[in-house]
Structure 1
Amino acid sequence: MGEEKKDELDKVVIKNDTLRKYFPRSYTPKQMEDTIIKLLDQWQRKQQRQNER
């Protein structure tokens, strides 16, 4: 039971309406996820470079 609660805490939910503002209608959920992950990776690398200065 405790592990089930932990899994719920590990989730981030963003409403579809919110995401759709930023993506073309033709994008699938997988394409949106891939794009978000790619952008987060880029942001993380940028943050790391700034912190090294």
Structure 2
Amino acid sequence: MFQTLTQVALPIAIILIMAGVGLSLTPADFKRVLKQPKAFFVGAICQMLILPAI
């Protein structure tokens, strides 16, 4: 039962949540990232360096 939950239900829930967040983005959100790319690059680098260390 628990294995089914972790292998099927949780990935489906994550897909639905990520799709919902992605669909809520507007062109203004992308323009803001292009105008101020520093925050994007800091976040991307931290994900590559710090998250694997956790």
- The alignment's TM-score, normalised by the length of structure 2, stands at 0.40
- The alignment's TM-score, normalised by the length of structure 1, stands at 0.40
1 or 2 for the larger relative contact order (CA 8 Å, sep ≥6)? 1
